Amino acid sequence: MDSIREYAEAHGLWQDKYRCTGRTTRRCDDLMQKLFQNVGEEIQICDHYRTRSADEMLAHKIIRRLELEHPHVKPNVRISGRRVFMSITDDKRQAMYIVQRQDLFNFRDVFASSHPQVAFEYMEGLEKCHGRVFRIIKQ
C-alpha cells in the first residue's frame, strides 16, 4: 500500500483538490431549496461524485438537516436502480409551545418553539431571573 501511495504522491495523483471545500454543503442547501419550492414533488438527489452511495449519503445529510431545522417537514425517499429521489410533505399543523409572561391585565407572548423541551428550558431560565410569572401554552 505504501508503494502505491508513494507512486501516486510522486505523480500528483494522491491529492484530492476538492476535499473540505464545502461542495456537499452547498449541494445540500441547493437541494433543500428545490424541495421547499416543489413541496410534494420528487426531485432527484445527485451528489457531485455521481455514485449511488454518495447520493444516499447526501440524502441522509438532507434528512438530518430537515429534522433539525424544519421538524414539521416529513421527508420521503425512494431509491430506483442507481438513482435516489426525495420529496417532502409540509405538516404545518404541528403544535407550537408558547411561553407567556403574566402582565398587569393579561398574558403576553415571550417565546415560541415547536419543541416542548426547548420552550420549557427557556421558561426555566426566565424564572430563575424573574420569578414564577410565566406559563407555557400549546397552540
Question: In whole angstroms, what is the distance from residue 18 CA to residue 22 CA?
Answer: 9
Q: How far apart are CA 70 and CA 61, in angstroms?
A: 13
Q: Are 73 and 108 in the same domain?
A: no
Q: Provide the grid cell at 30.
A: 441547493
pLDDT of 7-20, one tens digit each? 767 766 556 655 56
51 and 110 fall within a common domain: no
d(CA 66, CA 93): 16
pLDDT at position 86: 92
Q: Is the pLDDT of residue 21 over 70?
A: no
Do 109 and 54 reside in the same domain of the chain? no
Q: Decide: 74 and 86 in contact? Cβ < 8 Å.
A: no
Model pLDDT for residues 29-64, shown as the tens digit of each residue: 898 889 888 888 899 998 877 788 888 898 999 999
Give pLDDT, residue 15.
Answer: 60
Q: What is the DSSP letter of 134?
A: E
Q: Is the pLDDT of residue 23 over 80?
A: no
Cα–Cα distance for residue pair 134/137, rounded to 1 Å: 10
**pLDDT value at residue 92:** 65
Based on the domain organization, do 83 and 105 belong to the same domain? no
- d(CA 119, CA 100) in angstroms, rounded, equals 10
Helix (H, G, I), strand (E, B) or coil at 48: coil
Other Cβ atoms closer than 10 A to 48: 11
For 40, the domain range is 2-90
- Answer yes or no: do 84 and 102 share one domain: no
Query: Same domain for 103 and 80?
Result: no
Whether 42 and 110 map to the same domain: the answer is: no
pLDDT in tens, 58-99: 899 999 988 888 888 889 999 888 889 999 887 666 678 889
